[in-house]
Amino acid sequence: MYLMQFLVLAAFLFCVGVYGVLVRKNAVLVLMSIELILNSVNINLVALGVYRGYDQAIVGQVFSLFVIAVAAAEVGIGLAIVLLIYRNRASIDLSEVDLMKG
């Protein structure tokens, strides 16, 4: 059973995603990084579920279906917010969105 490979892949994707959210300045790329994080969760859920047995595999897959569905809604909202920012500022550079501080 190749469990470890999947877990390492998921951990790597998770780290790439978190790095992207924290470092990237382009809002759309940040949304893509968030997708990476959620997909790493899906890999984890499916791999660990299959590793644990038949019933757990179903639970893991159902969980990951929920994650996929909710992630779609989340990114839809995210794009709407980014679009709003773009309309008002004509830019989606996150480092410029800093009216409030302290």
Partner 1 sequence: MLAAAQAATDFVTPKLDYAALAPEMILTGVIVVVLLLDLFLDETQKYVIPSIAGFGILTAAFPLVFLAVQGDDVRSMVGGAYVSDDFALVFKALFLGTGYVVLLMSNRYIDEGDYYKGEYYVMLLSSLLGMVVMSSSRDLISIFVALELLSIPAYLLAGWRKRDLKSNEASLKYYLLGVLSSGVMLYGMSLIFGAAGTTVLEDISAQLVSVPQLDKVIAIGIFFVVVGFAFKVSAVPFHFWAPDTYEGAPTPVTAFLSVASKAAGFVALLQLVFIAFLSQGDTWAPLFWVLAALTMTVGNLVALRQTNIVRMLAYSSVAQAGYILVPFAVAGDELRAVQSAQTAAIVYLLIYSAMNLGAFAIVLAVARKTRSGEISSFGGLFQYAPGLTVVMTVFLASLAGVPPAGGWFAKFAVFRSVLDAGTGWAVALGVIAAVNSVVAAFYYFNVAREMWINPVPDEDRTPIRVPAALTTALGLTVAVVLVIGVFPGLFADLGNAASLGR
- Where does this chain bind partner 1 (CB under 8 A)? 10, 14, 17-18, 21, 27, 30, 34, 37-38, 40-41, 44-45, 48-49, 51-54, 56, 58-60, 62-63, 66-67, 70, 73-74, 77-78, 80-82, 84-85, 88-89, 94, 97-102
Residues with Cβ within 8 Å of residue 18, at least 6 apart in sequence: 33, 37
In terms of residues, how long is the chain? 102
Rounded Cα distance, 79 and 36, in Å = 16
Q: Which is nearer to partner 1, 2 or 73 (CB)?
A: 73
Rounded least distance, CB 2 to partner 1, Å: 15
What does the angle CA 82 – CA 68 – CA 59 come to, to the nearest 5 degrees? 155
Nearer residue to partner 1 within complex by CB, 2 or 102:
102
Nearest distance from C-beta of residue 40 to partner 1, angstroms:
7
Q: Two tokens at 46?
A: 């499916």
> How many C-beta atoms lie closer than 10 Å to residue 67's C-beta?
16
How near is the Cβ of 31 to partner 1 at its closest, in Å? Answer: 8
Minimum distance of partner 1 from residue 5's CB (angstroms): 14
User: How far apart are the two ends of the chain, measured CA to CA in Å?
Assistant: 51
